[in-house]
Chain A
Amino acid sequence: MSNMTIRQFVGQRRGHGGRWHWTDIATWIWLIGGTILMFGPALWLVMSSFKSPAQLAEFPPTLLPYAQETVMVEGYDDPLPLYTARLEDGTTAELAEIRRIGTNSQMVDPADPGTRIDVNIADRTPIRSIGFATGNYVEPLVANDFPRFLWNSVFVTVMATLITLLTNSMAAFALSKYRFRGRDAVMLLIVATLMVPLSVILVPLYSVVNFTGLLNSLWGVILPTVATPTGVFLLRQYMLTIPDELLEAARMDHASEWQIYWRIVLPLAAPALAVLAIFSVVWRWNDFLWPLIVLSRRELYTLQVGLNSYAGELNVQWHYILAMTVVTMIPVVLVFVFLQRFITTGIAGAGIK
């Protein structure tokens, strides 16, 4: 009996009814531990992004973001922070702090604004409730840099994806539906360069981009990435499954080759195009090394380069960085939530990324 269940663990698809076996427990420990490990760090980041700078500097940190409660006290223009203070007579009271002088805190009872009470700062603890420091998000969004980075990233992602879809699908169409001399050579070239990573051609690519005048331009980021062999390969494999007779029928229907591409092949290749579009969006949104090299003017930075530059500053403003990281994650999380199934089946099928 135990033999069977171990076998199920090492290979079989079906679990088993009845009693729990140690492999079941191991499975669930792995899965739940994995879930915490996979989502936990991102959740921790999101939580942290709502903390105020003071709270971020605390150790040990709290899990959830808290904000200090404040109160309006008569005679003071700004709201005052609330504390629980231990008084000299040993009782505790909720007091508002007016100002701090050395180790002394001048406090006032909100119910009795006239009387000032001096309390040692060691004898008071802030009153806090769960609260979100949304300023972390709002402030960089109205500041100059961040909206620019965001726009640059959106521009690069959208343009690169559109061009990728158009040029890759045209090439895939030619390579799957026409018999011409040199077709196999072109295909071989594309497959051979599937494995040429960017990091191998950094220097000469930089010089080409420099030569074409695209240095310090978003097009210098976009163009080198759009002729992806992966995309051509993926689309070609899909288009090979479209029967040639459909194209011939269209030819008999007085359709030009362009119309055949645009009105027959593209709509029929929609599933593969969708997969490539999703991949392209994720790739281009996440690109880092190449934009880092091409873009040296700050106003052209994409989000990824911008984030890195913030993190590399002398005085790291973590509260902003965390919030901006969360914003950077949003499109990818949306893709994950809505299109995850699409991608996972795409990868399982084609083994690409």
Chain B
Amino acid sequence: MATLSLKDIRKSFAGIEVIHGVDLSVKDGELVVFVGPSGCGKSTLLRLIAGLDRPTSGTIELDGRDVTGVNAADRGLAMVFQSYALYPHMTVRQNLSFGLENTRMPKAEIARRVDEAGRMLEIGELMNRRPTQLSGGQRQRVAIGRAIVREPSAFLLDEPLSNLDAELRVTMRAELAQLHERLATTMIYVTHDQVEAMTLADRIVVLRGGRIEQVDTPLGLYNQPANLFVAGFIGAPNMNLFPATARDGQAELPGGLRIDTGPGAARDGKVTIGIRPQHMHLAEAGEQTLEGRVELVERLGAETVVHAVTAEGTTFVTVLAGQPEVAMGDTLHVTPDRGQVHVFDADGQRVARD
């Protein structure tokens, strides 16, 4: 059980700064997901928390104790690696008990914990096998088991599902969620997959270029992205972004649709209007519409994904419920759900309209 706080963490490799001052606090028992494109610094940040690397400046506190200078071995954390990093020369049982032996725990207690983890993860049968004799999913479980037996104050998981095939990934994702429910231990989870982030996280930290873009709950991020980057990164298909010019708190979209940009920063000048593909419907008579020529129609059964291009050349995507009759080359008239339209100012920051 642990709270974690990062204060102005910076990290340079060979003189090049890759983490530019990160502040973050994680509550006890929380599952926080670091998400971002590759190279955003999410894995580096995790390694700093683990103690495998040292920050160039800033402090890391665990339960209020400064651990910045403490070795990884002495921080009491457990980590699940992307490659699993199972010791190839040890059996599953030895892999699980290695960490406990290092703390000079009595043999009986080690056996109890290992057996319990084996039961919990359904790897009891595999105890005497070596990692090379296991399937990918089994290795994944052993890697998690090795973290669990330690009963750490927090778990660190570095893209733990990325080496699994798609089907197994969904199963393991659900199991991880259950595991967190059961253990109620702080977890920090790194992934580049926003679906994993959305489904697992209590809170998501969106990183880009070594900076935190936004920290919020999954739905908070979805409903109120702080800037264009988060807006584009979270949600699938990506949010549609329309460049526009605001005048007197009003911006006009192609097709004549007018959007309120509010009284604030975006009253006049360049703005970007964001509308999620799911937040549009086919226009009914009399409604203001967004207009485009249909370029591609993907019929998925329950919904239909339509790609269209406006007269100005901006492409947009809309997800329509059911199986409406839309064909390539048609002119599409859609109307956004008024309450779900996002407005960003010239710097790409969200504009509050209320």
Contact = CB atoms under 8 A, between A and B. Distances in A.
A259 B101 CA distance: 11
Interface residues on A, range: 10 to 19
Interface string B119-146: 0000000000000000000000000001
A268 B88 contact: yes
A254 B74 CA distance: 6
B89 A253 contact: no
A335 interface: no
Nearest to B99: A253
A250 B85 CA distance: 9
A338 B45 CA distance: 51
A255 B99 contact: yes
Given A252-B78, A253-B99, A256-B73, A246 B52 contact: no
Contact of A254 (B83, B87, B89, B103): B103
A249 B79 contact: yes
A248 B73 contact: no
Nearest to A245: B85
Contacts, number: 64
Given A254-B73, A256-B73, A249 B85 contact: yes
Nearest to B98: A253
Given A248-B79, A268-B88, A268-B89, A253 B52 contact: no
A243 interface: yes
Centre residue among A243, A248, A256 by max chain B CB count within 10 A: A248
B50 interface: yes
Given A251-B73, A252-B72, A254-B103, A245 B81 contact: yes
A254 B81 contact: no
B171 interface: no
B132 to A, nearest CB: 13
A268 B73 CA distance: 21
A268 B98 CA distance: 15
A264 B99 contact: no
A256 B78 CA distance: 15
A206 to B, nearest CB: 43
B71 A243 contact: no
B133 to A, nearest CB: 17
B102 A252 contact: no
A255 B98 CA distance: 8
A267 B89 contact: yes
Nearest to B143: A249
Nearest to B83: A245
A253 B74 CA distance: 9
Contact of A249 (B76, B77, B81, B103): B81
Nearest to B50: A252
A99 interface: no
A263 interface: yes
B83 A243 contact: yes
Contact of A246 (B73, B82, B87): B87
B88 to A, nearest CB: 7
Interface of A: 243, 245-246, 248-256, 259, 263-264, 267-268, 270
Given A249-B79, A249-B81, A251-B51, 10 more contacts: A243-B83, A245-B81, A245-B82, A249-B85, A249-B87, A252-B72, A252-B77, A252-B79, A253-B150, A254-B73
30 contacts: A243-B85, A246-B85, A248-B50, A248-B52, A248-B72, A248-B79, A248-B81, A249-B79, A249-B85, A249-B86, A250-B87, A250-B98, A251-B52, A252-B73, A252-B78, A252-B79, A252-B99, A253-B98, A253-B102, A254-B73, A254-B74, A254-B76, A254-B102, A254-B103, A255-B99, A255-B102, A256-B73, A263-B98, A267-B89, A270-B89
